[in-house]
Amino acid sequence: MLGSDTPHGGSLEYLTPTRQALIMAIKALGEATTDQLARETYLSPGAVRQHLLSLETQGLVTFTKVREGPGRPRHVFRLTPRGESLFPQQYADIAVALITAIRSESPELLQRVLSRVVDGQVELAELHLAANPHHGRLASVLELLERYGYFPRLEIAEGGTARIVLRHCPLLRLAVDVPEVCDAECAVLRAVLPGMTITRTEHRLAGDPLCTYEASPEE
């Protein structure tokens, strides 16, 4: 469950074709009004507004109100950092290069660096959990996984065991070259779900189609 304060939104492929078109249009224009987007996508302004509302709820777009003369102000839409992250980035390549260089200098240093990363991620997660005291801890962790682009699914089995299925891995490019990242991810889950035994039962790097963790109450 590694992420940042401005987590990635995942991938354009997880959006419907219409919403992909709207995101692409805003990206091409830099910012755009509803009427501009309607012309670009051949949709009605009403349909555009409806889709933009959903994209705003997902944290992918935001808007400002611009008043030009009398009448109602215009809403000008632009992509949020999360929306921008839907497009190809070089972060993974740079991260691989940096971590590979650290490992070549000192494997022990790499472990210390990843340990600090885990501590930072746990701290961010605890802040989120503290801000949502009325949610169950497991539900709040799932919210964070969703926010970071893992597209998680929760399955509850008999005996209280929970299966956390991660349908997308935003770190896959990095993990292929630096598998220690997967261990750090597991360490974060263990830290934010105290009182539960966390076991990885499926792993993309092992050839499985998904990554899956089982969280069972400690005896």
Can you tell me whether residue 159 is helix, strand or coil? Answer: helix
End-to-end CA distance of the chain: 24
Domain range summary for the chain, segments of one domain joined by +: 12-84, 91-217
Give whole-number Cα distances, 135 to 2, 42, 139, 192, 195, in Å.
21, 41, 6, 14, 17
Burial (CB count <10 Å: 0-12, 13-18, 19+), residue 91: middle
Q: Is 104 left (phi over 0), alpha (psi -120 to 50) or beta?
A: alpha
pTM: 0.65
Our CA dihedral for 22, 27, 29, 35, rounded to 10 degrees, sits at 20
Closest residue by Cα to residue 79 from 35, 42, 37, 16: 37
Rounded to whole angstroms, how far apart are CA atoms 44 and 58?
21
pLDDT of residue 149: 83
**52 CB-near residues (< 8 Å, 6+ apart):** 22, 34, 37, 61, 63, 77
pLDDT of residue 90: 77
pLDDT of residue 10: 59
Provide the residue-wise pLDDT of the chain in tens; the chain has 219 residues.
777 654 444 578 889 999 999 999 999 999 999 999 999 999 999 999 999 999 999 999 999 988 777 777 889 999 998 888 888 777 778 888 999 999 999 999 999 999 999 999 999 889 988 887 777 889 999 999 988 888 899 998 877 789 999 988 888 888 999 999 999 999 999 999 999 999 999 999 999 989 999 999 887
pLDDT of residue 5: 55
Give me the CATH topology for the region 12-84.
Answer: Arc Repressor Mutant, subunit A (1.10.10)
**From 3.30.1380, 3.40.1130, 2.60.40, 1.10.260, which CATH number describes the 91-217 domain?**
3.30.1380
Our CA dihedral for 198, 201, 203, 209, rounded to 10 degrees, sits at -130
The answer to whether the beta carbons of residues 131 and 123 sit under 8 Å apart is no
